[in-house]
Amino acid sequence: MTRTPLIAANWKMHKTVAEAVQTARGLLERLGGRAPDGRTVLICPPFTAIMAVREVLADTGILWGAQNMYPRPKGAFTGEISPPMLADLGCTHVIVGHSERRHIFGEGNQLINEKVRAAFEFGLVPILAVGEKLEHRQAGLEEAVVEEQLAKGLMGLSAEQVRRLVIAYEPVWAIGTGETASPDDAQAMHAFIRRWLSARYGEETAQEVIIQYGGSVKPNNVDDLMAQPDIDGALVGGASLDADQFARIVQFQAP
């Protein structure tokens, strides 16, 4: 089977509504008004700009999603946003378990698993972010760390759900640092993740899962990363804030 590459922008805590609209319009202009063929493009603005970005992107083929959510449909959870609220805005995807959620806000694998399950329950595709810290890699523990995040993050899911899941491998030491995993190192981890999925859910399911790479993806390294057989897309932070740079990343050259 062929996996359609998914290029996603994670704008993190950046952009007012006006700035978000300007960037989304700029991207659209550079792409000729539509998502290019052969790839899926997704923008995850801050919650406050989702509505405005949706108005710009409606009917262009470019999708919009969210960076986080709380895994309950509604209730007394001051300050939180629910999966049905995101679905109501036309969000298709939601990022869960981003390293900034894990390390700055102390989210653990159990909460992240609840988010993954809640996303499916309410018709959103979860993008489960996993990745090791530098100290883990230096100690040769990168696979063990990622394996634990996968095993706990995917607990209770059916093979049918896993097939529709997106995994983002984001080594923490490569996020926002300008330091990218080499295409070979990234490929090695992506292949490890796919082997792990295959052992648990079967080869057919594993072959369908989109595994994105994230961590200082830029116009000048995206082609080499995307040339790797198990790298099926990119989750882009810093470079996605700029319409020129993100448009170039979206238009990566497949070999």
Q: Which residues are catalytic?
A: 98, 170
Enumerate binding residues for ligand 13P (CB under 6 A): 10, 98, 170, 175-176, 214-217, 235-239
Nearest to 241 by CA among 58, 6, 2, 16: 16
* Smallest gap from residue 226 Cβ to ligand 13P (A): 15
Q: Smaller CB distance to ligand 13P: residue 118 or 174? A: 174
Using CA atoms, how far residue 217 sits from 157, 176, 184, 224, in Å, is 30, 9, 15, 10
Amino acid at 141: L
Rounded Cα–Cα distance for residues 221 and 57 (Å): 27
What separation in angstroms does the CA of 229 have from each of 118, 180, 204, 244? 30, 18, 16, 26
Q: What is the SS3 assignment for 119?
A: helix
CB of 40 to ligand 13P, least distance (A): 16
Closest C-alpha among 36, 39, 15 to residue 27? 36
When the beta carbons of 193 and 239 are compared against ligand 13P, the nearer one is 239
- When the beta carbons of 68 and 109 are compared against ligand 13P, the nearer one is 68
Q: Which residue is nearest to ligand 13P (CB)?
A: 237
Closest CA to 213 of 247, 164, 171: 171
Cβ distance to ligand 13P smaller for residue 157 or 181: 181
